[in-house]
Amino acid sequence: MRKNPPILWTIEQGICYVSLICLTLLPGAEALLRLCFHSRVPASPGLIVHLLLTLGLLSGMSTTRQKDHLSIGLIQYSTIEENRGFKRFLATFSGLLSAFILTMFAWCSASFIKIYLSPYQIIGFIPDQVFALVMPLGYGVMAFRFARSTPLAETKGSARILLPALALLLGTVCALPALFKFIWGFDAPPLAYQISEAFAALAWYLKTPALILLVLAALGGTPLFVVIGAAALLLIQGSGGEMDVIANQIYTALTQNSFVAIPLFTLAGFFLSESKAGERLIRCFRSLFGWLPGGIIIAAVCMCTFFTSFTGASGVTILALGGILYRVLSENASYSPKLSIGLLTASGSMGILFPPSLAIILVGATTRTNTIHLFLGGIIPGLILVGGVILVGLIISVKTKVPLEPFRLRKAGAALKGSFLEILLPLLLIAGYFSGILSLVEIGSAAVVYVFVVEVLVFKDIRLKDISRVFAKAVPIIGGILSILAVSQALSYYIVDTQGPERFARWMQGAVTSKYLFLFILNMGLLLIGCLIDIFSAILIVLPLIFPLGAAYGIDPVHLGIIFLINLETGFLTPPVGMNLFLASYRFRKPFAAISRYVFPFLLIQLGVVFIVTYVPMLSTYLTKLY
């Protein structure tokens, strides 16, 4: 018999859902009032960003409860029986380390709220401090959940209580500098200052071994947001900075207007993936392209590209659509499982170059480059990339003599009519944004409302009582993304504050005088980075380092942004730790080495496109000059 979830979980989820609904409706109401009545919703901008803050922490709590935080965890995909004990050890270590780090985050957040947020700064009628209380609450709950979710919880010895309690206690002890500020403010006694200085000195001396330990912890399965946040905290404190700077940067990140679009487009993508939109689009593409060699392959690639452009996460596309598209490809005996799995894995990330890609939005916000120009800059490289993968499928189809489906105008017309509303969606969003009528956040709001109306009210694929199921699947993904973005902002702050980009640019200019050699080194470095960390962290942490270099070598900002994204996209498929290879291994129940072999032909194509886009800047800048 299924147990009802605890009341606190229900409240937590309910607040997440309400925050997400309000994030959808407020920008829509703002746009409607502005366009029709030249008015606005009172305090709307402040309410929207603070709802994002609330959603970010509470969805992070939900992601922790469901153990869905993004991690590398190489050994977790091993099925060797001898590794079971080692997996348990790594899971225990990861949980205790996460509890230790997040306990410090909770105390830093409490200190930040008391010292740096004024009780007189009000959003509507609610003080900023009230909204910000979600930070210590969220990180405290996450710390507790990590502490109690380790394999120790399944044992009967005293260690199952003592070790988690010790992790929380050590986190509190290491957060003493923040605790002193929370208690005394800036009037702490001399002893408190001496202890704080001692912790800063200790952080400086332990910086290198601690960073090495964090890298190993990441490879062992510790969530990436914990590893990145711990590195930021260590580096900031070790350089003489205040501990609560990290809470300041998390607050800054999760109250940025440009980040509001991320949960909105993610939610829209989940409404699409949970409905029968995929089946309608497959029928449409098959009826339109089935008469061509590789027509089904064209349909599969277009489907993956379409969904990834909305969800912003290639892994979601592989997990959500991999099963249905694999069945469609398997219906034709000429398409081997190797080809089908390789194609779907390679296609899972191609949508990040097309509007309304969350990655492009984030690149624009991070580098202050015109987002419309970045959208335009990604279209031609994206089409070349899609065309290259389709070309491989066409060649294989011709060689294996895949039977073709005859083109029937009536069938194609009916299929096109059935999926017309879904096909119309990106066209409407692009028109609304490129015309300047709606802002990016308002476009995200419009996307959710449009998809809701189409899938729930028009097609009735999702019943009203099942809407919570869509939210339940979207919230952990949103929590994972926002958790990473928040701590990545803190690490990015440290890098910029220490003038790392400028120093790196000067060193690189002295060491590498050729622009083309620099671009080659950049390609190799970004492919490696794409293997190791997610695209959102890379944008916030690595891009600020690279952007000044691009300016020094005379590289157009739009071109540099597209180079960055297409390299990371290809890095997802690059062994030994390409993230999409692991996700495909999980989804299709195949060994990691086998997935790597299946993807290899498509990886070669993507690498070729990467170098073409890198060394032919006109492909990225041509449309921007016409705009």
Write the secondary structure of 107-121 as one string of H (helix), E (strand) and C (coil).
HHHHHHHHHHCCCCC
Paired residues of 123 in beta bridges: 126
Q: Does 436 have pLDDT greater than 60? A: yes
Q: Kindly give the residue spans of alpha helices, DSSP state H, lying in 400-532.
A: 409-418, 420-434, 440-452, 467-497, 500-511, 515-532
- Counting Cβ atoms within 10 Å, is residue 38 exposed (0-12), middle (13-18) or buried (19+)? exposed
What local confidence, expressed as pLDDT, does residue 1 receive? 41
91 in the same domain as 129: yes
Residue 65 lies in a domain: no
- For residue 123, the SS3 value is strand
Q: What is the Cα–Cα distance from 222 to 588, expressed in whole angstroms?
A: 24
Specify the higher pLDDT residue, 283 or 81: 283
Share of the chain above pLDDT 90, in %: 27
Neighbouring-strand partners of residue 197: none
Position 76 pLDDT exceeds 60: no
Selection from 484, 479, 537, 486 nearest residue 63 by Cα: 479
- Identify the top-confidence range among 301-310, 377-386, 483-492, 584-593: 377-386
Both structure tokens of 614:
């890198």
Q: Give me the residue label for tokens 């964090």.
A: 214
Weakest-pLDDT range from 63-77, 309-323, 537-551, 558-572: 309-323
Is residue 339 within a helix (H) or strand (E), and if so which, with residue range?
helix 337-347
Q: Is residue 51 part of a domain?
A: no
In a shared domain, residues 227 and 283 = no
CB count in 10 Å sphere of residue 35: 12
**If you average pLDDT over residues 514-520, what whole number do you get?**
87
Domain identity same for 517 and 372: yes
Region 118-125: mean pLDDT is 80
Tokens of 367: 């580098």
Residues 223 and 276 in one domain: no
Is it the case that residue 538 has pLDDT exceeding 60? yes
Count of domains forming the chain:
2
In terms of domains, do 308 and 231 share one? no
Could you tell me how far CA 126 lies from the centroid of its own chain?
A: 30
Which among 529, 615, 520 is positioned nearest to 571, based on CA atoms?
529
Residue 18 resides in a domain: no
Does the pLDDT value for residue 572 go beyond 60?
A: yes
pLDDT at 383: 92
* 609 within 8 A of 384, measured Cβ to Cβ: yes
- Tell whether 556 is covered by a domain: yes
Domain identity same for 140 and 225 = yes
- Which of residues 198, 227, 255 is at a domain's end? 255
Identify the weakest region by mean pLDDT among 17-31, 306-320, 452-466, 593-607.
306-320
Does residue 373 have a pLDDT over 80? yes
Percent of the chain residues past pLDDT 70, beyond the cut = 91
| CA–CA distance, 614 with 582 (Å, rounded to integer) | 27
For residue 423, count other CB atoms closer than 10 A to its CB. Answer: 15
Q: Residue 351: name the closest of 301, 316, 302, 305 by CA.
A: 305
Q: Do 326 and 222 share a structural domain? A: no
Which domain range does residue 449 map to? Answer: 272-466+478-485+499-626
CB neighbour list of residue 571: distance below 8 Å, 6 or more residues apart? 526, 527, 528, 529, 530, 531, 578
Residue 284 shares a structural domain with residue 251: no
- Say how far apart CA 378 and CA 355 lie, in whole Å: 8
Last residue of a domain, one of 227, 255, 283: 255
Domain identity same for 290 and 228:
no
Show the tokens assigned to 149.
């979710």
> Whose CA is closest to 45, among 67, 26, 25?
26
Q: Are residues 233 and 86 in the same domain?
A: yes
Tell me what pLDDT residue 143 has: 96
Residues 184, 107 share a domain = yes
Residues in CB range of 582: below 8 A, 6 or more apart: 72, 77, 592
Specify whether the CB–CB gap between 617 and 555 falls below 8 A: yes
Concatenating the DSSP letter of every residue in 266-333 gives: HHHHHHHHHTTHHHHHHHHHHHHHTTSTTHHHHHHHHHHHHHHHHH--HHHHHHHHHHHHHHHHHTST
Average pLDDT across the chain, whole number: 84
- Written as six digits, the tokens of 330 are 């398997």
CA end-to-end span of the chain = 60
What's residue 55's pLDDT?
Answer: 94
Residue 602 lies in a domain: yes
Can you tell me the distance from the alpha carbon of 343 to that of 577, in angstroms, rounded to the nearest whole number?
18
Do 279 and 242 share a structural domain?
no
Q: Which helix (H) or strand (E) holds 8?
A: helix 7-37
Q: Is residue 561 part of a domain?
A: yes
Of the listed ranges 241-250, 263-272, 397-406, the one predicted with least confidence: 397-406
Kindly state whether residue 409 falls inside one of the protein's structural domains.
Answer: yes
Mean pLDDT of the 80-94 span? 76
Tell me the CA distances in angstroms from 95 to 152, 164, 166, 171, 450, one per residue in order. Answer: 10, 9, 12, 13, 40
> Does residue 144 have a pLDDT over 90?
yes
Tens of pLDDT, residue by residue over 384-429, are 988 888 887 778 777 777 667 777 888 888 888 888 898 888 888 8
Q: Please say whether the beta carbons of 285 and 328 come within 8 A.
A: no
Answer whether residue 58 is part of any domain: no
pTM to 2 decimal places: 0.84
Final residue belonging to a domain, choices 204, 228, 255:
255
- pLDDT at position 142, please? 96
